[in-house]
Amino acid sequence: MNLFYLIFSIVSILNLIFAITLIFLERRDPTATWAWVLILTLLPGIGFIIYLFFGLRFRKRKLYRKKQIADFRFSRDYSTSLNRTLFQIHTPYIRRMVKVGYKSHPSSFVGYNKVDIFTKGVLKFQRLFEDIEKARCHIHINYYIIKNDHLGRKLLEILTQKAYEGVTVRVLYDSMGCRKLPKDFFDPLIKAGGKAVKFAPSFLDINYRNHRKIVVIDGKIGYVGGFNVGKEYLGEKPEFGFWRDTHLRLEGESVDTLQYRFLLDWNFASNEEVDYYQRYFPEKEIIDKVKVQIVTSGPDSREEEIKYLFLKMIYGAQKFIYIQTPYFIPDQTVLEGLKIATMAGVDVRIMVPDKPDHPFVYEANHSYLGLMLESGAKCYRYKGGFLHSKTIVVDGEVASVGTTNMDVRSFKLNFEINAFIYDKKTASELRDIYLADLEICEEITLEKYNQRSVGMKIKESIARLVSPIL
């Protein structure tokens, strides 16, 4: 019994030390700080282990400082294009948004792009495979999740064939998102001359995931959005049903930024130091004139660039803000921005899934939606399957599509990428898609919300308490 008390005392002291470290040494959002203190206090021993792997930031600072320096060195030429492109922007609101986006490296506002929108996985992958099969120079792929199912194996088969044909193939995949992949999954590709590299394979980096989805083909065609690689994204898993997501196919100057971002991440993960040869950045044909800005953020960023652009969109809205996100767990700045917009008469609508894909998410979503309902926003649950789309449309003039969820993890911890589109036609198309989705949604009214059970209220309270670290 004495040994038990000795061990318990040591664990309690360690928890106290980590709590003090958390409060005084870590520069965190206060709500996240108190969430960790609560976990350390209520779960002695277990809380210590959870904090070691998910909360400690010292390793992040050391590991990603080098990446930050390397990224800046290779992307500094982008900053020189700011003055060259801003004169093309006639709307002050958009000009200010673009300037905020330039804090991201690399980021460039470019005016000559063609944008195709995909909301169904079957159509997205059909077009993607067609583009890959036509590749002549290189194929660069970055996905958070690649599954060992018929879709993942088909992608592997096509990439392997292209590698045998002499096309340069590089695949970057997240070690956590692809943790169930067999170790020899990419062996056929590697045998054919292609390359596949894990991003952040160390278990100590489990908290910092590469959530980006990027494909670049011959430096001319790019893909970015929410779809990963697996049969559920085709709507073939009964527990999810139809998978509703949004993905973009880009042609034009914006592909260069996708290429830069891929190569920066590849160099970091592989230690290969791929040079920025001209063949990776060919001259682009002018196909259309859609203005696009690709913006990234992550643990290696000095600021929360994508979140800042979200805030700029919110504060600049005059008519409406339409949001789709699987996780509506915003920080205080975004929450207050949306409340202020609602009180100012802006039509704020938020759409979330009707079913969760992670524990606590449904309750956390519900809790924050309640706050928005009280401020006058309209909130909806998507009933047509699983909603994984991450889009924002403002006033039918500006839109964002990408990998970033409306939560603290995406803002602070994950490596994310979004395309910000400054084009009325494309933004209006995304608005129309949103309105069509509303037809298969259930509206959450304030009256319904107030009728929730005591059990649900307790679950929401717990979810809210730990939401800053979900």
Out of 220, 390, 412, 459, the active site residue is 390
Please say if 424 is a catalytic residue.
no
Out of 220, 388, 412, 459, the active site residue is 388
Distance, in Å, from the CA atom of 165 to the CA atom of 120, rounded to the nearest integer, reads: 30
Out of 213, 312, 339, 366, the active site residue is 213
Please say if 90 is a catalytic residue.
no
Distance, in Å, from the CA atom of 233 to the CA atom of 385, rounded to the nearest integer, reads: 11
Q: Residue 320: is it exposed, middle or buried by C-beta count within 10 angstroms (0-12/13-18/19+)?
A: middle
Residue 65 burial (CB count, 10 A) = 11
Please say if 191 is a catalytic residue.
no
Please say if 388 is a catalytic residue.
yes
Out of 211, 339, 366, 412, the active site residue is 211
User: Residue 349 — φ and ψ, nearest 5°?
Assistant: -130, 135
Q: Which amino acid is at 368?
A: Y
Residues in the chain, overall count = 470
Residues 338/330, Cβ–Cβ less than 8 Å: yes
Out of 205, 300, 395, 423, the active site residue is 395
Location of structure tokens 């928005």:
372
Please say if 390 is a catalytic residue.
yes
Residues 416/297, Cβ–Cβ less than 8 Å: yes
Out of 218, 256, 300, 423, the active site residue is 218
* Helix extents (H) in 317-401: 332-343, 361-375
Location of structure tokens 């995909």:
118
Distance, in Å, from the CA atom of 289 to the CA atom of 463, rounded to the nearest integer, reads: 44
Please say if 105 is a catalytic residue.
no
Residues 280/218, Cβ–Cβ less than 8 Å: no
Distance, in Å, from the CA atom of 431 to the CA atom of 360, rounded to the nearest integer, reads: 29
Cβ contacts of 88-97, under 8 Å, gap ≥ 24: 88/291, 89/291, 89/422, 93/316, 94/397, 94/398, 94/422, 96/312, 96/316, 97/309, 97/312, 97/313, 97/316, 97/398, 97/420, 97/422
Catalytic residue list = 211, 213, 218, 388, 390, 395
